[in-house]
Structure 1
Amino acid sequence: MAEDRLFIVFLAVAVVVLLARALAGRLRMPDAILLVLLGMAAGFVPALPAVVVPPEVVLLGFLPPLLYHAAFFTAPREARAEAVPIFTLAFGLTTVTTVAVAATVHALLPDVGWAAALAFGAAVSPTDPVAATAVLQRLGAPPRMVTILEGESLINDGAALTIFMIAVEALGTDFGVGHGVARVAQIVLGGVAYGLVVGVVVRRVRRWITDPVSQIIVSLATPYLAFVPADHFGASGVLATVTAGFFIGTRGEGVLQPASRLVGSMFWRILAFLLESALFVLLGLEIRGFLREPGGQTWGLVAAAAVAVSAVVIGVRVLWQLGNRPLARLVPGGLRSQQGVGWRQRLVIGFGGMRGAITLAIALSLPTVVGDERGLLVLLAALVVLVTLVGQAPLLPFLLRRLGLVQPDRRRAESMLARRAGLQAALARLAELAEDEDVDEQTAEAFRQMLELRLERVRYFLDQQDKEDVEDAEEGAARRRPPSSRRVRGELVKAQRAKLRTLYRNGRIGAETLREIGRELDFEDPLNVQRPRP
């Protein structure tokens, strides 16, 4: 029965997710690598049913929330600073990779037409930075590399899917150059414009919602409100979703209360992880059918095509990164953007272009009009994901260490410096409240002791000294906190948050540090539910 099959599939997804999480911690590997291996291994379990995922289910069910999540958590200041390398990678490299892969597939598999080959090239051209950035951040690599990889991945999704939409349309109709240019303009401009409208409207609506559950419901509906109408009217649902997510995420000041930020952030992290995990498992269950009859081709030809496409995907990216300096001269601010990014950084960025959930989602959304080759192309896409994730990601730590780009204490030092500045700002604000007699001396003294102990602990961290006694003393001070101190605590948290934003605007700390300490302040903020602003 269909219900039994559905239950077994859900159970398989849950088992794979739990196994991946458990093994990732033990093996110190990114979750994405284990999800690929376990998801594909699940497809060979005889008890599990074969699955055929309709393309529209993948396109509408998985892509909107994944794209919205990535866009919402984009670091705006860093993205602006690295705009030139991000855009050259997202548009230039994506286009070159698409054409190179399409030419390779068409040469090796002549039965695959040019339109289908271009659609496949668009599927494997966007990168998934999850595995690469997990390794880079754990080893303390320069933050510019992480920013470029994340920013590129966000924009190249839209570029790749625009090419994908054009190629899919060309499968069933005659497609002239003029019509293609007009459709690109309609897809891009229409998607961005509609995404901005959705972003503005949703942001205004969310300002008046104080209930965290309602905030989550609105945030979950937002990517579909952006994607579905835009796609229905011929614009890019991907660009609309990315634009709306980026607009709301970078202009959320005063929109979300601390409780909503905490619950919403956790909800979206879990949802994105589950969706990516489900994609890997569903692909593993569907790929079993492709393996029995790989598009009528011999296994030798399929293996050769997989190796060739993977080599093109990796090689084109590395060559682009190492040789794009002349191209940078043609872009305003291009040479200035490359200052401080030497060949070692460019090599790591080039080698860090793994493929992941987005590639799988696009490949699985290939329409049935492609014909018998659809299964073969989905299989090739899965093999490219497997080669880039399992083959490249484990080599990144070795490459970083070999090139001397490992800075394990950088993130901790940046975080401690931000905490020290925030605590000093809170102490200054407490002194102002005591001087204006807005707080009684006993309450002020209790908070002063707590903040000074925290400040001392931060100094111990910076000096690499033991902090256990300080933590015990801090807990004792917290237990002596007067019950009437709610408003004072809110003022101190507000002062720390303002100092944190100032440090970020001035470039003293990065977006990861901003979010990390911001979450800690949300936990401390007593004003978890505020009145909506008039």
Structure 2
Amino acid sequence: MIEEYLIVAVVVAVIMLVGRGLGQGFGIPVAIPLVLLGLAASFVPGMSKAVVSPDVILALYLPPLVYRAAFLTAPRESKEDAVPISVMAFGLTCVTALAVMTAVHLAVPEVGWPVALALGAAVAPTDPVAATSIMKRLGAPSRLVTILEGESLVNDAVALTLFGLALTAIAEPVTLADGGLLLARVVAGGMLYGLALGWAMARLRGRIKDGGAQIVLSLVTPFVAYLPAEHFGFSGVLATITAGFYLGTRGQGLLQPSFRVTGNAFWEVLVLLLESSLFVLLGLEIRQVLSGVADYSFATLAGTAALVLAVVALLRMAWTMLVFPLAKWLPGRHLSFDRIGTGQRLVMGWAGMRGAITLAVALSIPLTVPSRPLLIFLAAVVILATLMGQATTLAPLLRRLGLGESDETVVEEAQARQSTMEAALAKLDELAAGDQIDERTAEVFRQLLELRLDKVRAILDEDEGEDGDETSPDSGTRWLRKQLAHTQREKLDDLYSKGKISAATQRHLVHELDLEDRRRASGSH
């Protein structure tokens, strides 16, 4: 029995490797070949053991996926753009879920309102990974990326809360008043528990110095947030997101620099495995799903799928072009909406791809729901159609609108590098003046920093830099290296807190400093 499961696991792993290779080789979203290869593998005897129970999907896949997204959220940018993010995440998500619910119920009347709401909640949240990766590669405005990432994080929480209410209504009738009280308890309880857990974990992780134990604790955290919250009737997703966001704002102080590199690599691989395996699971279930919808006519299936897809795509475009600009009249302090022009709103509307979260929610619909195959079928159509239609055309749209040529990120990163190295030079002079290091050692490091600074100034057209080899002092200068790296990290924190650089730039430059620390710790120079 164990050998059979191991063989299935190996087959799924091979599918993920081949599928990702095909996706990258042909320039298409990797989800497409993963689903097709999963469908092909479903004909192999014994692969039915790879089908995961719906109860396991939510508990196994959702916590780490939403936790990682929350952990990487840029706090300052999200606060500055709280109004546009809220307009998209709360308003559009709720309207989309209700519109899809109405469309499905009208197209297939035998699907009850609660079941239709479950589908609406599943297809409402967006997956920004494909869109933002394209935007970052092409140099699109950073504010546009921030809004899309912030929207995705919050709309996950909104949609999954609606999904939980829909499942409750499927199990037993719920009045409007009962639903309101349940919603308040679920939301408030989840956020308070997540905040308390984040506070406790931050203090616990601050006391653990072993890098391996830190990574294990980071893996356990989303499950400790999600499972107890769900057990006590709170929103496990909100608890996980709150804990992840709290810890993410303090992430750099919880891990030693050399361990952060390993931790980031671990989480990148974990998220890749989870998202890829979800699409393989969809492929493995397609035969069963098609068998479950065999009673519906082709016209009903095609018409309902087209209707749901039209509602999802057109409603988002109408919202970003017509409703979104009206948010500037909302009370409160927020950044000017004048900087989000028509072209950027058009991109926001077109960047509404659905992905792993939608798929995880759809696959987690209980087996007892009679219309489960139909709901999974419709969700799969929305995911694959948006990935094929929107993800593959987003880059040409950005270029056509002139939003893919910005050098904003390059300049911002170069300016941040300049500021950190100037701060390190000032610290070096301070240490030399205080006789904490000898002048010969100071001169070696001064030349190294000035060489790097010349290269950065060349990018900024402030000076002409020259290439050269870096000189590595002996191990007796380890303390000095640590002091200079610490100074540069402090400068990056200061630049970010003052709004001079984005969280992405800060994270990228800190990662480079962490890599240097790791190379020194391993004895590589």
TM-score normalised to the size of structure 1?
0.93
Match in the other structure for 1:402: 400
**Cross-structure match for 1:39:** 35
Letter in structure 2 aligned against 1:67: V
> Do 2:418 and 2:453's aligned partners in 1 also have CA atoms closer than 8 Å?
yes
**Aligned equivalent of 2:467:** 470
The farther-off stretch of 17-26 and 458-467 is: 458-467
1:213 Cα offset (Å): 0.4
Cα–Cα, structure 1 residues 103 and 528, in superposed 2: closer, same or farther, change >3 Å? farther
In 1, distance between residues paired with 2:191 and 2:199?
Answer: 12
SS in 2 for 1:404: coil
**Shift of residue 291, structure 1, vs aligned partner:** 1.9
Residue 502 of structure 1: CA displacement? 1.5
**How far did 1:415 drift?**
1.6
Q: How far, CA to CA, are the matches of 2:37 and 2:254 in structure 1?
A: 44
Give me the CA root mean square deviation. Answer: 2.1
Count of aligned pairs between the two proteins: 518
Where in structure 2 are the equivalents of 1:91-490 lying within 5 Å? 91-294=90-293, 296-325=295-324, 327-328=326-327, 331-333=330-332, 336-371=335-370, 373-463=371-461, 470-471=467-468, 473-474=469-470, 477-478=471-472, 481-490=473-482
Following TM superposition, by how much is the alpha carbon of 1:54 offset from its aligned partner in structure 2, in angstroms? Answer: 1.0
C-alpha offsets along residues 383-404 of structure 1, whole Å, 9 cap, x if unaligned? 1100011110111111111111
Q: Structure 1 pair 155/485, CA: closer, same or farther in 2 (3 Å)?
A: same
CA–CA distance in 2 between the matches of 1:36 and 1:185?
39
CA contact (8 A) 2:36 2:283 kept: yes
- What amino acid does structure 2 have at the position aligned with 1:47? V
- Contact 1:258 1:528 (8 Å CA) reproduced: no
The structural deviation recorded for 1:40 is 3.2
In structure 1, what residue type is equivalent to 2:416? A
1:127 match: secondary structure? coil
Is the Cα contact below 8 Å between 1:67 and 1:241 reproduced in 2?
yes
**Other-structure match for 2:492:** 500
Distance in 1 (alpha carbons) for counterparts of 2:420 and 2:329: 43
CA distance in 2, matches of 1:139, 1:466: 26
**Per-residue deviation, 1:509:** 1.3
| Aligned partners of 1:363 and 1:381 also within 8 Å | yes
Query: Given the superposition, is the C-alpha separation of residues 15 and 97 from structure 1 closer, same or farther in structure 2, using an over 3 Å criterion?
Result: same
Aligned counterpart, 1:58:
57
Change (3 A) 1:56 1:316: same
Matched residue, 1:532: none
Deviations along 1:105-152, one digit per CA (max 9) or x if unpaired, are 111111211110001100000010000001111111001110011001
Structure 1 residues 24 and 425, CA, compared in 2 at 3 Å: closer, same or farther?
Answer: farther
Unaligned runs of 5+ in 2: none
Cα distance, 1:28 vs structure 2: 5.3
- Which residue pairs with 1:72 in the alignment? 71
Amino acid at match of 1:37: P
Q: 1:438 is paired with a residue of what secondary structure?
A: coil
In the alignment, structure 1 segments of 5+ residues that lack a partner are 530-534
Cα distance between partner residues in 2 of 1:115 and 1:126: 18
TM-score by length of 2: 0.94
CA drift of 1:262 comes to 1.3
Structure 1 residue 80 displacement after superposition: 0.4
Quote the Cα distance in structure 2 between the aligned partners of 1:134 and 1:17: 20
Does the CA-based 8 Å contact 2:38-2:281 persist in structure 1? no
Runs of 4+ aligned structure 1 residues displaced above 6 Å come to 464-467, 526-529
- Cα distance in 1 for residues equivalent to 2:270 and 2:308: 31
| Kept in 2: contact 1:171–1:369 (CA 8 A) | no
Aligned in 2, Cα 1:434/1:427: closer, same or farther, shift over 3 Å?
same
The 3 A distance-change label for structure 1 pair 519 and 365 is same
Question: Could you tell me how far 1:289 is from its partner in structure 2?
Answer: 1.4
Shift of residue 306 of structure 1? 1.4
Structure-2 separation of matches of 1:394 and 1:526: 38
More displaced 10-residue stretch of structure 1: 319-328 or 275-284: 319-328
The farther-off stretch of 338-347 and 380-389 is 338-347
Match of 1:9 in 2: 8
Shift of residue 498, structure 1, vs aligned partner: 1.3
Q: Give % identity.
A: 49
Cα offsets for 1:66-119 (capped at 9, x unmatched): 010000010001100110011111111111000110111111111211110001
- The range that moved more, 376-385 or 407-416, is 407-416
SS state of the match for residue 170, structure 2? helix
Please, which of 485, 494, 501 is the counterpart of residue 509 of structure 1?
501
CA contact 1:44–1:288 (8 Å) conserved in 2:
no
